[in-house]
Chain A
Amino acid sequence: MILAFVLVVLVVGSVIFHLLSPWWWTPIASNWDYIDHTITITFWITGVVFVAIGLFMAYCVFRFRHQEGTRAAYEPENKRLEWWLTVVTTLGVAGMLTPGLFVWNQFITVPKEADVIEVMAQQWQFSFRLPGKDGVLGTSDTGNVSSENPFGLNPNDPNGQDDVLIEAQDLHLPLNRPVKVLLRSVDTLHNFYVPQFRAKMDMVPGMVTYFWFTPTRTGTFESICAELCGTGHYTMRAVVVVDEDSAYQTWLQEQSTFKQALAKNRNSTGSKLSLALSKRQTGSADSVYGVIPPKRNSLRN
């Protein structure tokens, strides 16, 4: 009796929570509202099933609870009912899968006109690379990584000389231009995730992975690492700024290329990143965690 009541409260309460709670997905800022639509369809189909099963059980518990002198019915199977339920379930599943696969096909098919950029990950920061004037990213190799060449670019590749390097700073993207994001890591798994863009993909050392999207509103967005990568995982952030075209061009002018950076690194103390690296190298053997960014409060400014 109480159980029937609790089941009803649980089902109705879940629906009310879903409709009224303040927690819902972050407002979208990319073309992937298709994904949101697929989620909405899934919510409807599965929600109906959840409510139906919950309320049906509550009814059974109430109506067929043990009473003196009653006896259960004897009905081992009911072929017609079982087939009927199977067919309806199959239709429901197809109703979710079809739009899902359709959108997945879009997700993995990059439009030809997409700009290409690269995100490089290492414990525990993101860096970015743009192809520069020639529109082509130069080749890279983890073996080339050094304090002078933290991106590990191939110094002899002419395509790489004009690549724009953005080390441990904000990435800017122009509004409404599709962008293919190439992902690379030099140490372990990471994942580049901006919730407002709805897209994410792991970064795997030894491989280049990708996803694409089109930013659809200007603003400043925070990206986080979404694949466990060690102690500093929770501190691994970056900022992505989506600009109008003119603001974007202004920003782009201020960035330096691989060639410039290489020259500068050879003459001076090196980049921010290589500072962090050299600190690690001079640390004693058991201060492995010496490079972990300090705890959250100080970290964020």
Chain B
Amino acid sequence: MTDVTPETTSYLAPAEVEDVELYHPKSFVTKYIWSQDAKVIAIQYAVTAIAIGLVALVLSWMMRLQLGFPDTFSFISPEAYLQLITMHGMIMVIYLLTALFLGGFGNYLIPLMVGARDMVFPYVNMLSYWVYLLAVLVLVASFFVPGGSTGAGWTLYPPQAILAGTPGQSYGIILMLASLALFIIGFTMGGLNYVVTVLQARTRGMTLMRMPLTVWGIFVATILALLAFPALFVGAVMMMFDRLLGTSFFMPQIVEFGESLKYGGGSPILFQHLFWFFGHPEVYIVALPGFGIVSDLLSVHARKNIFGYRMMVWAIVVIGGLSFVVWAHHMYVSGMNPYFGFFFATSTLIIAVPTAIKVYNWVLTLWRGNIHLTLPMLFAIAFIITFVNGGITGLFLGNVVVDVPLSDTMFVVAHFHMVMGVAPILVIFGAIYHWYPLMSGRMLNQAMGHFHFWVTFIGAYLIYFPMHYLGFIGVPRRYYAIGETEFIPLSAATLNEFITVAALIVGLAQVVFIFNLVWSLFKGEKSVKNPWRATSLEWQTPQMPPAHGNWGKELPVVYRWAYDYSVPGAAEDFLPQNLAPDQVAIAKGHEASGVRAAAT
């Protein structure tokens, strides 16, 4: 098994694909706007995703104000509340997290990390971004049409999504479905690029089992997305037909407010199956890139190889595969055949095993490491504890009978925010602090960074940890106001006020972060090359930030895995992937034995 880590080899297979000639932009427009350079496209994706994400953040403030202080804000009506949660949820999951992880980090890091000059289909890659932007604009337009955006909840369940009792029935829902269809089209163009680039454009010596886990995570997540999004796409198209053409895919016979509608024979549960066949893998589309990135952050900043690399790769692949057979755990109380519960509870709890292995390997990477508590490291550790907390409550909800009292309560809201809201966002922050110098040539400001970290980490925990207990009481989700309810104690209102205050503070800390991003671009301390002393290829380019084409005249040649940190006998505590074995400087006193890894 010559291609298996962590051995270094001196024999390298010849390149299978010839070096490519790239399109060289001639004007400002082709360089920065209609750009075909994956790095520019990445920044375009990231800026758009963060901008629309900020909208979703502001929406969450309004929701929290309503929940914490009901009867106070007259501009938040029951209709508006439903529109807020729907747009907030959809934007966060799809237009922020999916776009930022895959379109943003995927575009920036895949070509650099595998030693390619660019994505294999740069033109399609460019189109991908512009279709995504169009999807975002259509979504934003739905705020302004008569009747406003849809208030169907981010799950868009019919019949309610297209009935008169739900806000946004006239135009909002149509624009939402259209925007989702556009997003999927745009994503598919990018996604095919990411997969083919990883499979075909790796440089000499970069075997699959030498790729950084970041690339593995994004790669598998993209495959999941390519297989899962079509289910949402057909669901959206079919619902669009039901709404516009009067078909009845999802619409049974209905009497609404005394009026008999012209539908009949369709199945609302069919839509739920389509939605969650997409929706559950979507959780992992957001989680797997996060898993990969956090593995690399931990390894670099603890100066230690990631523990159990092969296990980590297999865990990603197994989790990705299993994530397609657990979808109906979102439907335990949907009225589907109750015998499905046995199967889906079992498959869901099985996923916990590879997921737990990943967690163990992260903490074992810290064990006997040389831990530098840099900002990326702080966020990575905060991610682990947040993710463990959120993963654990997933074991409650996955265990079918436990889900019965808890589903559709605030327990669910707390659970998914911990595991797919806060945790991936913490990774994104860590990743931005880590790769900002590579992208801009400057470091982010430390003081602002520490402020941002502590407020976000502790604040988010204070928001969501107590929220689980509201769910135990029985406080339902998607409630504009809970009013006086027999089983809800008055103290729950106090807790809601506390959560709202915490949420507003966390929200304001993000303003500091955005300010830091912009300020450091001009005023930040200039970064040295490879400031974290990392081994992976993206830091080994001739220029920093990497220039068009990434690698100058010659593509790099890879001799080792991405995790040669603190190798016994080597003078430096990191050996870049493209450092030839005969170039490795030997530490004093080790001249006779040489470098262990390099000698095998």
Binding site for B on A (CB under 8 A): 1, 3, 6-7, 10-11, 14, 17, 21-26, 32, 34-35, 38-39, 42, 46, 49-50, 53-54, 56-57, 60-61, 64-66, 70-78, 81-82, 85-86, 89-90, 93, 96-97, 100-101, 103-105, 107-108, 122-124, 141-143, 145, 147, 152, 183, 186-189, 191, 193, 195-196, 198-207, 209, 220-222, 224-234, 237, 274, 276-278, 280-281, 288-289, 291-292, 295-297, 299-300
Which of B220-253 touch A at CB < 8 Å?
A: 252-253
Cross-chain contact of A72 among B254, B258, B573 (Cβ < 8 A)? B573
Q: Is the CB of A104 within 8 A of B405?
A: no
Cross-chain contact of B409 among A32, A54, A66, A226 (Cβ < 8 A)? A226
Provide the B285-311 mask, 1 if CB < 8 A to any CB of A, else 0: 000000000000000001111011111
Number of interface residues, chain B, beta carbon within 8 A: 120
Cross-chain contact of B253 among A39, A143, A189 (Cβ < 8 A)? A143
Can you give 11 contacting A-B residue pairs, CB < 8 Å? Answer: A22-B489, A25-B405, A35-B401, A82-B311, A100-B400, A104-B338, A193-B476, A231-B82, A280-B259, A288-B165, A295-B481
A176 to chain B: closest CB distance in Å? Answer: 21
Residues of chain A contacted by B495 (CB below 8 angstroms): 23
A18 to B597, CA, bound (A): 48
B470 to chain A: closest CB distance in Å? Answer: 7
A49 to B384, CA, bound (A): 13
Question: What 5 pairs across the A-B complex have the smallest Cβ distances?
Answer: A206-B252, A277-B258, A195-B474, A230-B165, A209-B335
Residues of chain A contacted by B409 (CB below 8 angstroms): 226
Q: Is the CB of B159 within 8 A of A89?
A: no
B407 to chain A: closest CB distance in Å? Answer: 7
Residues of chain B contacted by A229 (CB below 8 angstroms): 160, 165
B111 at interface (Cβ–Cβ under 8 A)?
A: no
Q: Is the CB of B481 within 8 A of A296?
A: yes
B283 at interface (Cβ–Cβ under 8 A)?
A: no
B366 at interface (Cβ–Cβ under 8 A)?
A: yes
Q: Is the CB of A198 within 8 A of B404?
A: yes
Q: Is the CB of A108 within 8 A of B373?
A: no
Residues of chain B contacted by A105 (CB below 8 angstroms): 342
Q: Is the CB of B482 within 8 A of A234?
A: yes
Given A204-B335, A300-B483, CB of A188 within 8 Å of CB of B260: no
Q: Is the CB of B335 within 8 A of A203?
A: yes
Residues of chain A contacted by B254 (CB below 8 angstroms): 142, 186-188, 205
Q: Is the CB of A77 within 8 A of B381?
A: no
Question: What would 5 more interface pairs be, CB under 8 Å, given A81-B364, A200-B407, A206-B267?
Answer: A23-B491, A89-B356, A93-B349, A189-B159, A199-B405
Given A35-B405, A199-B405, CB of A10 within 8 Å of CB of B473: no
Q: Is the CB of B309 within 8 A of A73?
A: no
Residues of chain A contacted by B373 (CB below 8 angstroms): 1, 3, 61, 65-66
Could you say which of B129-137, B205-213, B389-397 contacts chain A?
B389-397
A183 to chain B: closest CB distance in Å? Answer: 8
Residues of chain B contacted by A205 (CB below 8 angstroms): 159, 252-254, 268
Q: Is the CB of B487 within 8 A of A26?
A: yes
Q: Is the CB of A296 within 8 A of B483?
A: yes
B413 at interface (Cβ–Cβ under 8 A)?
A: no
Q: Is the CB of A147 within 8 A of B392?
A: no
Residues of chain B contacted by A123 (CB below 8 angstroms): 165, 256-257
Q: Is the CB of A289 within 8 A of B333?
A: no
A118 to chain B: closest CB distance in Å? Answer: 14
Could you say which of B19-27, B427-435, B563-571 contacts chain A?
B563-571
Which of B330-355 touch A at CB < 8 Å?
A: 333-335, 338-339, 341-342, 345-346, 349-350, 352-353
B363 at interface (Cβ–Cβ under 8 A)?
A: yes
Cross-chain contact of A17 among B259, B364, B466 (Cβ < 8 A)? B466
Q: Is the CB of B388 within 8 A of A3?
A: no
Q: Is the CB of B256 within 8 A of A187?
A: yes
Given A23-B495, A188-B165, CB of A221 within 8 Å of CB of B339: no
A291 to B78, CA, bound (A): 13
Which of B54-96 touch A at CB < 8 Å?
A: 70-71, 78-79, 82
Which of B379-417 touch A at CB < 8 Å?
A: 381, 384-385, 388-389, 392, 395-396, 399-402, 404-405, 407-409
Candidate in A66, A199, A299, A300 with the most chain B CB atoms within 10 angstroms: A66
Binding site for A on B (CB under 8 A): 5-6, 70-71, 78-79, 82, 151-153, 157, 159-160, 163-167, 169, 252-260, 265-269, 302-305, 307-311, 333-335, 338-339, 341-342, 345-346, 349-350, 352-353, 356-357, 359-361, 363-364, 366-373, 378, 381, 384-385, 388-389, 392, 395-396, 399-402, 404-405, 407-409, 458, 461, 465-466, 469-470, 472-474, 476, 478-487, 489, 491-492, 495, 563, 565-568, 573, 596-597
Q: Is the CB of B404 within 8 A of A142?
A: no
Residues of chain A contacted by B256 (CB below 8 angstroms): 123, 187-188
A292 to B480, CA, bound (A): 13
Q: Is the CB of A202 within 8 A of B334?
A: yes
Given A101-B342, A101-B345, A201-B333, CB of A96 within 8 Å of CB of B159: no
A259 to chain B: closest CB distance in Å? Answer: 22
A172 to B233, CA, bound (A): 46
Q: Is the CB of A234 within 8 A of B157?
A: no
Of all chain A residues, which has the CB nearest B465?
A14
Residues of chain B contacted by A281 (CB below 8 angstroms): 257-259
Residues of chain B contacted by A204 (CB below 8 angstroms): 252, 268-269, 334-335
Given A23-B472, A96-B395, A203-B335, CB of A147 within 8 Å of CB of B487: no
A277 to B341, CA, bound (A): 38
Residues of chain B contacted by A228 (CB below 8 angstroms): 82, 152-153, 157, 160, 478
Q: Is the CB of A296 within 8 A of B166?
A: no
Of all chain A residues, which has the CB nearest B169?
A288
Residues of chain B contacted by A124 (CB below 8 angstroms): 165
A232 to B266, CA, bound (A): 24
A277 to B596, CA, bound (A): 82
Q: Is the CB of B395 within 8 A of A220?
A: no
A20 to chain B: closest CB distance in Å? Answer: 11
Given A24-B469, A57-B381, A64-B370, CB of A226 within 8 Å of CB of B476: yes
Q: Is the CB of A187 within 8 A of B353?
A: no
A25 to B364, CA, bound (A): 36
A183 to B461, CA, bound (A): 38
Q: Is the CB of A23 within 8 A of B466?
A: yes
Q: Is the CB of A78 within 8 A of B308?
A: yes
Q: Is the CB of B473 within 8 A of A26?
A: yes
Given A23-B470, A64-B368, A228-B160, CB of A234 within 8 Å of CB of B481: yes
